[in-house]
Copies of this chain bind each other. A is one copy, B any other.
Amino acid sequence: MEKPNEGRARVVIENLEPELSCGRFPIKRVIGDTVEVEADVFADGHDEVEARLLWKKDGEAEWQTVRMTFLGNDRWRGTFPVDHVGPYLYTVAGSIDRFGTWRHDLEKRIAAGQDLTIPIQAGAILLEQIASSVKGKDASKLIAWAQELKAQSKDAPSAAKAAKLALTSELAETVQLYPDHLVETRYRRELGVFVDRQKAGFSAWYELFPRSWSTTPGKHGTFRDVAARLEYVSEMGFDVLYLPPIHPIGKSFRKGRNNSTEAAPGDVGSPWAIGSSEGGHTSIHPALGTMEDFQYLLKRAGQLGLEVALDIAFQCAPDHPWVTEHPEFFKKRPDGSIQYAENPPKKYQDIYPLDFESSNWKGLWDALKEVFRFWIGKGVRIFRVDNPHTKAFPFWEWVIKELKAESPDVLLLAEAFTRPRVMEQLAKLGFSQSYTYFTWRNTKDEIVEYMYQLTRTQLREYFRPNFWPNTPDILTESLQVGGPAAFKSRLVLAATLSANYGIYGPAFELGEHLPIRSGSEEYLNSEKYEIKTWDLDSPQSLRPLIAKVNEARRNNPALHGNLSLHFHSIENPMLLCYSKRVQNAGSDGGDNTVLAIVSLDPFHQQSGWVQLDLNVLGLEAAQAFEVEDLLADQRYLWHGSRNYVELRPQGIPAHLFRIRKHVRTEKDFDYYR
């Protein structure tokens, strides 16, 4: 084995965290976050070491440096802020802290009353060495210190005199500015962070089918119809308006109502069967309007604080233009026909999957990228990607990097309801947000365990969950049987457990709950295959509650992230109690702490004693504090960790408390008497 270039680099750096797949993938953050980095940094022998976190925006020439803090057991921690969208890099460097070692030894020698002549001289020499690599004022300062130390050491200086000089914090601070770069150790890899805009981490999605938004029942709705009633969505407090595919819908093998294989005349078909003689993935379904109408909707949405997300479903109806223009994008069957989608024994003859093993895979990749670029060109920045797990992983890695290089503010939500490793890989490859298993996590144990995975394992670094109580494809059993209480409970859970969440409406707020048949998660008379008429003004609508939940989310920074999530004990398996908290980020500059208590039982009243972990909430044992229910506009005075709660399915089966630590006046107390 060859000797290394610099065998005197005695510092070791190991177990750097966070690091995904040995640096192959960047971690994710949003603007305003800090990145916290830890590493084991140590050397042989007794010398002290210093550890430095290096970071920069990708492409910058110079690293920024921050000294890391010693945590004990050879572990060090440092943080850096990210305040621009785009890629950052970080790594760790370490070197022997010669001055720190010398200073610490000197303290011990002074305490032991040892002769200090030689040690003080050694310190002076060390300062001269450090000064030689320093320019300007600090160099002069260091040399002056060195000379003074030398002068003192000549006549056996008193411990007190030497100490005063050598141990001044000014000297230590000056030296700290000039760590030993000559024989420093760098961590073997530079690691990436991709920083997204804040919406990647905090968003409320509303999915609707524009064709159901005409005010004339049965008539095909348009973008203009949606724009005309868009306050309905914005007033509930959503900030992403997600539209299923807006492209021409295939005519051959079109599916009829309730997914029947034979469409009746006039059946509108599934928006996911993309493409006809009217165009493909860059065309608009004529019945929805024109490109101008679409851009009008984008503009109107923007005025109302809504951003439009498009659905990208990379598959083709048999009459999609690509089928004739690019037959090589598809697999052939032995009889020469194009292979339709199949999962034996099921056949989906209305859908041709794209063949990622095509000999022209490069052409296919380019074509798909151009679909994204087309809509980005029209002003769209958020895409919900349909079934990304049935397209090749290398494609996603490439296309997302390409898109983000041009448009770093693009966000992609992966609609992959599949196995854990596959979902994780898509998130690692660059998807900004991911659909999750929340939809099927109903019991206390299931929810706590799943949230542990999302917020306490490495997933927290790259997998941004987006919780959906329902989707057009998924009407869960709990919503089928649980009545309005189940809808309310699932809404509060989704919106407060996860900073990103969404609902498929108006089906959700109107309590649509009938399945096509028992045991199925498909809707009866699913909007996927027909135009629906929704009674937006129904008095039973959950719209007011949704508005309250979204308002609470917006006003409470604690709900803008997931990593502070903490479950508190509550003595009832049907009740779930959890908090989120941010320090120094409340509207008054103080903490913001939210405590949720949600009933998982849609049928019966449930009550129990919560046992709060007060230290997690920043409260003291003897303290009285106010909890203000943001959903019910009620306030309670609580004391200490043990408090009673009671929730009924008839009302709102959840408390969403903001905790106020300081009950300030007698009047405040009166409020509770």
A: which residues have CB within 8 A of B? Answer: 1, 3-4, 7-10, 12, 14-15, 21-24, 40, 42-46, 73-74, 105, 108-109, 111-112, 114, 118, 121-122, 124-125, 183, 188-189, 333-335, 342-345, 356-357, 361-362, 365, 389-395, 397-398, 401-402, 405, 419-422, 425
Contacts and interface: CB of A to CB of B under 8 A. Distances in A.
Contacts of A356: 7-8, 10, 44
Contact of A3 (B8, B22, B362, B393): B362
A394 B334 contact: no
Contact of A42 (B24, B189, B405, B419): B419
A189 to B, nearest CB: 8
Nearest to A19: B22
A12 B118 contact: no
Nearest to A183: B357
A429 B46 CA distance: 19
A392 B357 contact: no
Given A112-B344, A345-B114, A393-B44, A334 B125 contact: yes
Contacts of A357: 8, 10, 183
Contact of A365 (B7, B334, B394): B7
B21 A345 contact: no
Given A10-B392, A40-B421, A393-B10, A46 B4 contact: no
Given A44-B393, A45-B390, A345-B108, A3 B365 contact: yes
Contacts of A12: 393, 425
A15 B21 CA distance: 7
Contacts of A344: 105, 108-109, 112, 114
A422 B44 CA distance: 8
A402 B2 CA distance: 9
Contacts of A401: 1
Contact of A45 (B44, B389, B397): B389
A610 B411 CA distance: 59
A158 to B, nearest CB: 17
A118 B347 CA distance: 14
Given A45-B390, A344-B109, A361 B22 contact: no
A550 B357 CA distance: 62
Nearest to A74: B421
B402 A1 contact: yes
A419 B73 contact: yes
8 residue pairs, one from A and one from B, having the closest CB atoms: A112-B345, A121-B334, A22-B22, A108-B344, A1-B401, A74-B421, A45-B390, A105-B344
Contacts of A183: 357
Contacts of A122: 333-334
A14 B390 CA distance: 18
6 contacts: A1-B402, A7-B365, A8-B394, A14-B21, A108-B344, A114-B344
A262 B391 CA distance: 79
A8 B392 contact: yes
Nearest to A391: B44
Contact of A421 (B24, B42, B109, B395): B42
Nearest to A14: B21
A7 B356 CA distance: 8
A255 B45 CA distance: 23
A115 to B, nearest CB: 11
Contacts of A22: 22-23, 188-189
Nearest to A345: B112
A467 B24 CA distance: 39
B422 A24 contact: no
Contact of A395 (B7, B42, B189): B7
A9 B40 CA distance: 36
A21 B73 CA distance: 19
Given A45-B390, A114-B345, A390-B44, A425 B14 contact: yes
B44 A345 contact: no
Given A44-B356, A335-B118, A345-B114, A421 B73 contact: yes
A124 B46 CA distance: 71
Given A121-B334, A183-B357, A42 B7 contact: no
Nearest to A333: B118
Given A44-B390, A108-B344, A389-B45, A7 B421 contact: no
Contacts of A14: 21, 421, 425
A91 to B, nearest CB: 14
Contacts of A425: 12, 14, 42
Contacts of A405: 1
Contacts of A74: 419-422
B114 A361 contact: no
Contacts of A361: 7-8
A80 B237 CA distance: 59
Contacts of A343: 46
Contacts of A392: 7-8, 10, 44
Contacts of A188: 22, 24
A55 B334 CA distance: 38
Contacts of A23: 22
A402 to B, nearest CB: 6
A7 B390 contact: no
B42 A422 contact: yes
Contacts of A391: 44-45
Contacts of A422: 42, 44, 74
Nearest to A347: B114
A442 to B, nearest CB: 21
Given A7-B361, A345-B111, A421-B74, A389 B334 contact: no
Contact of A73 (B43, B342, B393, B420): B420
A672 B44 CA distance: 58
A391 B362 CA distance: 54
Contact of A345 (B109, B389, B419): B109
Nearest to A111: B345
